[in-house]
Amino acid sequence: MTNERLPLEGVRIIEMGSLLAGPFTGRLLGDFGAEVIKIEAPDKQDPMRDWGKQKDGHGLWWPIQSRNKKSITLNLRVKEGQELFKKIIKDSDAIIENFRPGTLEKWGLSYETLKEINPGIIMVRTSGFGQTGPYNKRAGFGSIGEAMGGLRYVTGFPDRPPSRIGISLGDTLAALFATIGCLTALHERHESGEGQVVDTAIYEAVFSVMESVIPDYLLTDYIRERMGNILPGVAPSNIYKTKDDTYVVIGANADGVFKRLCASMDQPELAENPKYATHHARSDNMKELDLLIEKWTKTLTADIVLKKLEESGVPSGLIYSAEDIVKDPQYKARDMIISAKHEELGDFPMPGIVPKLSRTPGKVKHVGAEYVGKHNEDIYKKLLEIDDQEFERLKESKTI
């Protein structure tokens, strides 16, 4: 039985900034029930509203990135806007921001200033290079973090320039680490009663997942290079062409799994061959082994290859496009494609919630606000108890 109450209900998050890394953190927290209040400038909306493919004048990325969030406008560049912000954070739990370091300080909204108002406030700061160090004032997008974090150096094929991955991975990795930091700080606050700063740098988030590249270099003088579809020292783990010109991904690098692959190929003797019997042997003879496997896959259609490998317990799969994902029963069974109502576009499809919690699962209550400042009255009139006359004055002065 699941609980109707979402696990982060009662937690209020104020989201500042735009585009990817900061707002993706807000999305993750909102998925599990946090009240996320997103701030946009009255004269400059989040560019994410226009990103992605367009449908009837609406960007298709925004409704996902800003789902479950309340949208308000507030001019943080003026004194009156800054004072309103201080009132909002008085009863809030965390602030998410991804401005260039120094921006909040310039506006008189430093952590030191805000913790005087709310000692328990947590400030989640995401930037290209972090709040300290010689690069801290540099502008830094996810693409730069991917490059300087080491990811792009190893992405692509050895005979071509470094490549990028087809999504904004640097930003989302930073958002994941920022989310972990926010939840950790919220938990610690139960003991101390105090907030703190969560400082996430995009390049560090990327670097953190770069496996053993540093000891490889410092201890063995080995620099991992671009290797296409393989991983250095891990075999077999590649894509293999089939009879019907489809590519199947096979990962059979563990000894036991490799034996099962050989049995599927009706070549059990390969598992006993000294050239392939061990992890290091397979690494040394990777190219030759991949050719042997593809020689087998080319005699069968992809469906038959996958059926044989599934029956033998060998990890394998197709390389999915969006069309393949939509048709796949596994995605459907686990509610990984859901929909929420959009005022203009109707049912709006989007990725489901990750991870799955058995008792208190997350929920998508609504898409990102279809227009800027949709929840202004809710926040300013109800939360801050601003009367109608003052509310209209703030609108006319373009403070909100």
Q: Which helix (H) or strand (E) holds 351?
A: strand 346-351
Give the H or E element holding residue 126: strand 122-127
**How far is the C-alpha of 69 from the C-alpha of 72, rounded, in Å?**
10
What pLDDT shows up at residue 232? 87
Residues 182 and 157 in one domain: yes
Q: How far is 16 from 211, CA to CA, in rounded Å? A: 32
Query: Do residues 375 and 255 both lie within one domain?
Result: no
Q: How far apart are CA 204 and CA 150, in angstroms?
A: 10
Q: Is 140 within the bounds of a domain?
A: yes
What does 53-104 look like in DSSP terms, one character per residue? -EETTEESSHHHHTTTEEEEE--TTSHHHHHHHHHHHTT-SEEEE-SPTTHH
pLDDT of 355: 97
Same domain, residue pair 345 and 313: no
Same domain flag for 33 and 171: yes
CB 52 within 8 A of CB 60: yes
User: Rounded to the nearest 5°, which phi and psi values hold at 309?
Assistant: -70, -35
Residue 327 maps to a domain: no
Q: What's the pLDDT score for residue 1?
A: 63
For residue 220, is it within any domain?
no
Same domain, 62 and 194: yes
User: Does residue 307 share a domain with residue 171?
Assistant: no
What pLDDT score does 3 carry? Answer: 72
Which residue segment(s) compose the domain that 274 sits in?
A: 237-319
Task: Examine residue 390 and state whether it is found in any structural domain, yes or no.
Answer: yes
Report residue 331 as tokens: 């995605």
Q: Is 42 a domain residue? A: yes
Question: Under a CB-based contact definition with an 8 Å cutoff, are residues 241 and 298 in contact?
Answer: yes
Q: Are residues 386 and 244 in the same domain?
A: no
**Do both 54 and 143 map to the same domain?**
yes
- Describe the strand order of the beta sheet including 122-127 as a list of residue ranges: 69-73, 35-40, 12-15, 94-97, 122-127, 197-201
Q: How many domains does the chain have?
A: 2
Sign of the dihedral defined by the CA atoms of residues 63, 65, 67, 73, in that order: negative
Q: Tell whether 232 is covered by a domain.
A: no
In tens digits, the chain (400 residues) has pLDDT values of 667 899 999 999 999 999 999 999 999 999 999 999 999 999 999 999 999 899 999 999 999 999 999 999 999 999 999 999 999 999 999 999 999 999 999 999 999 999 999 999 999 999 999 999 999 999 889 999 999 999 999 999 999 999 999 999 999 999 999 999 999 999 999 999 999 999 999 999 999 999 999 999 999 999 999 999 998 889 999 999 999 999 999 999 999 999 999 999 999 999 999 999 999 999 999 999 999 999 999 999 999 999 999 999 999 999 999 999 999 999 999 999 999 999 999 999 999 999 999 999 999 999 999 999 999 999 999 999 999 999 999 999 999 9
Active site residues: 171
CB atoms inside a 10 Å sphere around CB 323:
8
Question: Does an H or E element contain 391, and which?
Answer: helix 388-396
Please report, for the domain that includes residue 247, its CATH number. 3.30.1540.10
Q: Do 158 and 264 belong together in one domain? A: no
Of the candidates 319, 342, 374, which is a domain's last residue?
319
| Structure-block tokens of residue 180 | 């972990």
> Does 4 fall in a domain?
no
- Is residue 325, in this structure, part of any structural domain at all? no
